[in-house]
Amino acid sequence: MRPVIKAIIIGFIFVPVLPFGLAARLAHRLLGSALLFDTFAQAVSLVPGKLGSYTRACYYKQTLRKTYLDIDLAFGTIVTKIESSIGHRVYIGLYCSVGYCDIGDDVVIANNISILSGSAQHNFENPDRPIFDDSDSFTMMRIGHDTFVGDQSVIMADVGHHTIIGAGTIVTKPLPDYVVAVGNPARVLKSRREQSETD
């Protein structure tokens, strides 16, 4: 019964959100501008409770390259790149910033986490060049399905499937499937496959 009630609520929310989603999508497609997308993303990030989670699911379903209505994004969380993708049944906790990424199915991302748009998105090589000179270079980050990312982590490189990222971890290099990684910079603590074989 609860899935039916949820579907009805989301249906009622989807329609009022649609003008904002369409405007953001059209502005990006026709004008190459993410201004409306960013503005509405910031607004929907501040809607509290389950109503907020459903509102964010509707807005990102209407705007992102690919996502689904079964995602759950908590209060204060924002996706900053319209080209991003989020898989089925993804949970993203409080106050997260999600950059240019492709997140697989069944991923859990805890609170206060930054997923950057690559480890070298800002070009600081020339000290004579102004900081804001529009020379940013974005790289898609991939987080594999069935992966957990702990509180206050920073993701700057790809993360494999079925991988556990400990709280406060800074991922600067790609991590493989089925590992537990912790630290700054992240290091592989153990293989989850070896652990399951010994249990």
> Rounded distance, CA 199 to CA 191, Å?
13
Beta-carbon contacts of residue 171 (< 8 Å; ≥ 6 apart): 153, 154, 155, 156, 157, 159, 165, 181, 185, 186
Q: Could you give all domains of the chain from N- to C-terminal order, each with its CATH number?
A: 1-63 (no CATH), 66-199 (2.160.10.10)
The SS3 of residue 176 is: coil
19-38 pLDDT tens trace? 999 999 999 999 999 999 99
pTM assigned to the model: 0.88
87-146 pLDDT tens trace? 999 999 999 999 999 999 999 999 999 999 876 666 666 666 666 666 667 789 999 999
